[in-house]
Amino acid sequence: MTYTGSVRKEGSKWYYVIEMGKDNNGKRKQKKKRGFQTKKDAQASLTKALHELNSGTYIEPSTQKLGEFLVDWLNYKKAMVAESTYSTYYINLKTHILPELNNMPLSNLKPLHIQQFYSKLLNEKKLHHNTVRKIHTMLVNALDRAVKFDMVAKNAAKLVEPPKESNAEMKVWDVGEVRSFLKAAKDSPFSMVYLIAINTGMRQGEILGLTWESVNLEDNILSVKQTLGHDGKTLKSTTKTAAGMRSIAMPTELAKELRHHKLEQKKQRLKMGTFYTDLNLVVASEVGTPINPSNLRRNFNNLIKKANLERIRFHDLRHTHATLLLKQGVHPKIVSERLGHADTRMTLDRYSHLLPNMQNETAQKFGELLYGRQDIVPPIDQNKIKEPEKKYVTNM
């Protein structure tokens, strides 16, 4: 069947009608679309619709609201993503997307709507660029499913450029600041958490979910095999990424501290007796249960004040570990493996801006390698240049 149509005027607006044949009862079927400002707009839309119908690419516009679709999509994704990812999706949907786009018909969503939405988040709500990028990723993922199920013809979010990624939130300490913090945290019940974080770059959930089975004190290796959820209760045998399942070599000093910590933990277990819940966790509460992330965060912030340091997030201890390694000349691939990054490029993109002197240092090292130290002429110290000795001539 070849579809045909016509453009008509109704009041001050234009609309088109497409002849869709007849139904099973022989009744004439038509498809109409109203609301065009000009005849030219109506004709262009009719031409596009007829082309799609006759070529078999036409998709019937969905009547579902965007908010309703996204809620259904989130329920579908819950069993497929990590708890932390689901939590981020949920917060962004509830706090930012639904208040603005809940009643937008899915089929009416255009790139302009999304671009205006992002602008409002950035300029009025003052959200960080990285937060808006996460919302963008979520919308792209969700609308891909809408395209797959023939609910919309195109993914409107893919036609919008998200804000550029920003590393402004990342803050790190230098070696002196790390030492000051560890000194302040020495008597803290969470001191071992901080030691592991700074010495290995492990994520908070990976440290709080670490068991003694994953600690090799003979070869000084920690293995990341499970994490503690953000709720502080759920232990999961999966990490953020496949690369997250990894082994990390630790300094001898950390291994020594862990041995001492293990003995102290054994004493505590005997002291509590039947009240102790033995989950074999490396860091645990007084009764053996997982450490509450909220309690850890409060303690961390208090210790920062005690040490009179610039405030950073716990996650920035991970960034600090990576930055200190890179500044010592450790190869980015090794740093990437320690952090559990899926790709070395991720490591370089995230930390290169913190290392402005690496290019100069690399150039100098290459010069020393190629030409040898004896060929490098040191700069002249102007203070060591002696003035020429003055000679006086006496007229005889």
For residue 285, the model assigns a pLDDT of 95
Q: Flag whether pLDDT at 93 surpasses 70.
A: yes
pLDDT (mean) for 28-46 = 88
Q: Is the model's pLDDT at 31 over the cut of 90?
A: no
Residue 29 CA, distance from chain mean position: 51
CATH for the 175-354 domain, from 1.10.150.120, 3.40.50.1220, 1.10.3980.10, 1.10.443.10? 1.10.443.10
Contact of 211 with 281, CB cutoff 8 Å? yes
User: What contacts 233, CB < 8 A, 6 or more positions away?
Assistant: 290
Residue of 310, 321, 366 lying closest to 347 (CA atoms) = 321
Helices (H) and strands (E) in the chain, counts: 15, 8
Q: Report, as an integer, the average pLDDT of 243-253.
A: 89
Q: Where are the domains of the chain?
A: 4-55, 66-159, 175-354
What is the torsional sign of CA 106, 108, 112, 118? negative
Percent of the chain with pLDDT over 90: 58
> What's the whole-number mean pLDDT along residues 28-35?
84
Query: What H or E segment, with its residue span, contains residue 33?
Result: strand 28-36
Q: What tokens were used for 111?
A: 């790139």
pLDDT (tens digit, 9 = 90+) per residue, 349-367?
A: 888 766 556 667 777 777 7
Q: 156 falls in which pLDDT band (50, 70, 90)?
A: very high
- If 0-12 CB within 10 Å is exposed, 13-18 middle and 19+ buried, where does residue 250 land? buried
| Mean pLDDT, residues 375-393 | 51
364's enclosing H/E stretch is helix 358-371
CATH for 66-159, options being 1.10.3720.10, 3.30.420.40, 3.40.190.10, 1.10.150.130: 1.10.150.130
Closest CA to 88 of 74, 102, 100: 74
Cβ partners under 8 Å of residue 69, min gap 6: 62, 106, 142, 146, 151
pLDDT in tens, 274-333: 999 999 999 999 999 999 999 999 999 999 999 999 999 999 999 999 999 998 888 889
